[in-house]
Amino acid sequence: MRGSAQQYLRRAVSSREEPSIWNEAAQKLRGKKPLMRPRIIPVLLLDSRRRLVKTRHFGDEVYVGDPFNVIRIFNEKEVDEICVLDINASIEGRRPDAGFISELASECFMPLSYGGGVRSVADATPIFAVGVEKIVLGRAGADAVAVRALADSFGSQAVAVCIDCRRINNDWRVALDRGRAVTDVDPVTRASAVEQAGAGEIILQNVDRDGERRGYDAELISSVSAAVDVPVVALGGAGELSHLEDGLRAGASAVASGSVFVFIGRLRAVLITYPSQPDIVALLEQVGAS
């Protein structure tokens, strides 16, 4: 464990637990996915050099910091959980680096999800062994056999599938390989399929709004959330707290973003931030009252 991590003695709260501060506000939002309170999740993107970047439409990468330093800041801010994605691993044919992931996990005192190059039980086993709570599947999420094997080995709650979506001729389609390969599958069909295969969570990512900071697509979130019983995490488009509120109103079980937590202002100056607990409770109460 790194020296700085030893300063933190508090236990990470699992995404499947509910600290008492949230209970009253979260209770108002309970629907058909009753076991989890709404979560607010920073998503950190690793490039091929293990630097944190933020993308726009899955391109136009902007450097935002060292992953270890950023995780330390989020430790201090007591975020709900963190999702780290190696955005080039699958395209470059790289498997997960368990040593590097172990270093990340040793610094992270909140639930950690990791994605990038995970294809099989053999890939995932060392990741879970170093303390990662959840794996995120991209291209491998289209393989029902792989999803089922991972769910059977580690539990559905430990397997999330990221569904990247693009709008083509007014219809939503699932995209692969950082949005470059557009399939003929719609996101509702894919979401239902990965749920049936055993995935315990769906990260619904809007490629067209990635980095735009103008809000989620509520219709997309609503359609997918209504089609499945597993939690849906909205990702792609948020730029401010009100957008997170909109995502929860649209039916997401959790809302995720990179821009909200790493950029400030019109010029996208880098500032690592996270709303305070009172601000989040107020946000949940606003959603519950609507």
Residues acting as catalytic residues: 164
Pair of tokens at residue 73: 């800041």
Picking from 115, 114, 205, the residue whose alpha carbon sits closest to that of residue 163 is 205
SS3 label, residue 23: helix
What single DSSP character describes residue 5?
G
Q: How many CB atoms lie within 10 A of CB 170?
A: 5
- Asked if residues 76 and 231 have their Cβ atoms less than 8 Å apart, the reply is no
Q: What is the rounded distance in angstroms from the CA atom of residue 157 to the CA atom of residue 33?
A: 13
Picking from 126, 111, 36, the residue whose alpha carbon sits closest to that of residue 71 is 111
Q: What is the rounded distance in angstroms from the CA atom of residue 124 to the CA atom of residue 34?
A: 28
Pair of tokens at residue 261: 């937590």
> How many residues in total does the chain contain?
290
